[in-house]
Amino acid sequence: MVTRLTAVSGGGAKGPACFLLEAEGRRLLLDLGYGPQPGLWPDVSRLGKVDALLLSHAHQDHAGGLALLPRVGNPPLYVTEPLRHLVREHAIGGTLPLAGTTRILDLAVTTGRNGHAPGGVWLHIDVCGGVLYMGDFCCESLIYARDPPPRARAMIVDASYGEYDATLADCARALEDHVAGRDALLPVPPGGRAPELALHFARRGTVPAMDDAVRRATARLGAEHAQSALPAVREELARLARAAPPITGRGIMLAAAADGAGGEAGRLIREYGSTSSPEIVFTGYLPPGTPAERLTGSGRAKYARWNVHPRFADNAALARSVAPRFVVPAFGGPQDPARWREAFAPAEVVLSPVVELQ
Ligand SMILES: [Zn+2]
């Protein structure tokens, strides 16, 4: 029986994550995202009925497409405990461990923490020598714990950054150039790099101001989301959440949403968008059609990436330990395919939306 992996959306380019794995008579959907730019849904019109949906983490471009579930037969959802709040009216199939093995529709599914988000995991399905879906993944996080994945015949890698290879230390230096000695607003995702940036600035001697969403997410990493955080920082993050001042327009300010379209960051941008201070610095993806794109395009805001995805060298190192036969780039793709073939050899770099594993 053929094992087939289909990139419904997110294969080779930024877009909502949605992959279909067909194996041993089962049809598993891996992530069902929306965005990151407004109005971008995966096309599920030809998918038919699926048997289960497994979510890698709570970010909207991976888990924001649940409104599409009735169009794929309302399958049961499998999520880690910190993602339970997403399920609401949908059927829950079971809980994924943050790190461990469980059975879904009689297939062994192994998960491990992804170094990227609270409750975030990679997924390894034990069919046909193993299919490994990395979802979003980061090797450099100061705060999120990461588990090494097992060997697999096919690996979907987080290629968000393509061939980019600057380190987090490089990022920190560039960011410092934009904010040193200034008042600065950083629009950030609370369940992502926000607590990490807070820790970075605090360790450099400036406790940043936080909006309620960032403070809550930072506190949780010292409490109910502690298993997703590195043990050494849990208490430090809990203290930081208590110590951070509220936002007053001065100092370093961390506020949601990351694209500046809503939340406290949206409000501050409406207030300060046409003034010259504070500095506004975006640190993540700049979705088309959002204030993040508009303000960086006009020069009002600066951009300094803070790594939350793997560098090219990280993905190449990961492939050496996973030893896949097939590497499927997701959320970005090769600018230089020859460099990819060389870095991932002897694996085949798959650039088509469908790969058959046997
Ligand atoms: Zn993510």
pLDDT at 117: 98
pLDDT at 311: 98
> Cα Rg for the chain, rounded, in angstroms?
20
**How many whole angstroms from 305 Cα to the centroid of ligand 1?**
14
Task: Report the range of poorest mean pLDDT among 57-61, 103-107, 165-169, 270-274.
Answer: 270-274
**Which pLDDT band, with edges at 50, 70 and 90, does 269 fall under?**
very high
Distance (Å, whole) CA 342 – CA 96: 35
**How many whole angstroms from 56 Cα to the centroid of ligand 1?**
9
57: Cβ contacts below 8 Å, ≥ 6 apart: 63, 83, 114, 116, 117, 119, 120, 121, 135, 136
Mean pLDDT, rounded, for 254-267: 97
Angle between helices 234-243 and 212-220 (to 10 degrees): 150
**How many whole angstroms from 275 Cα to the centroid of ligand 1?**
31
**How many whole angstroms from 318 Cα to the centroid of ligand 1?**
18
Q: What is the pLDDT of residues 66-102, one digit of tens each?
A: 999 999 999 999 999 999 999 988 999 999 999 999 9
**How many whole angstroms from 230 Cα to the centroid of ligand 1?**
18
Q: What is the pLDDT of residues 290-344, one digit of tens each?
A: 999 999 999 999 999 999 999 999 999 999 999 999 999 999 989 999 999 999 9
**How many whole angstroms from 276 Cα to the centroid of ligand 1?**
31
**How many whole angstroms from 16 Cα to the centroid of ligand 1?**
11
pLDDT at 356: 95
pLDDT at 100: 98
Please give the structure tokens belonging to residue 162: 């393509």
User: What is the SS3 assignment for 74?
Assistant: coil
**How many whole angstroms from 136 Cα to the centroid of ligand 1?**
5
Q: What is the pLDDT of residues 22-43, one digit of tens each?
A: 999 999 999 999 999 899 999 9
Distance (Å, whole) CA 279 – CA 258: 15
Mean of all residue pLDDT scores within the chain: 97
Please name every residue paired with 144 in a beta bridge, in sequence order, or none if there are none: 229
Label residue 200 left, alpha or beta by phi (over 0 means left) and psi (-120 to 50 means alpha).
alpha
| Percent residues over pLDDT 90 in the chain | 96
Q: Does the pLDDT of residue 358 top 80, yes or no? A: no
Mean pLDDT, rounded, for 133-156: 98
**How many whole angstroms from 181 Cα to the centroid of ligand 1?**
31
Q: Does the pLDDT of residue 153 top 80, yes or no? A: yes
> Taking the C-alpha atoms of 244, 247, 250 and 251 in order, what is their torsion angle to the nearest 10 degrees?
30
Cis link prior to 310 (omega < 30° from 0)? no
User: What is the SS3 assignment for 80?
Assistant: strand
Q: Does the pLDDT of residue 214 top 90, yes or no? A: yes
Q: Does the pLDDT of residue 219 top 90, yes or no? A: yes
* CA-based nearest residue to 295, from 277, 269, 271: 269
Q: Does the pLDDT of residue 192 top 90, yes or no? A: yes
* All structural domains of the chain: 4-163+309-356 (3.60.15.10), 168-303 (3.40.50.10890)
345: Cβ contacts below 8 Å, ≥ 6 apart: none
Distance (Å, whole) CA 28 – CA 40: 22
**How many whole angstroms from 116 Cα to the centroid of ligand 1?**
7
**How many whole angstroms from 351 Cα to the centroid of ligand 1?**
22
Q: How many residues does this entry show for the chain?
A: 358
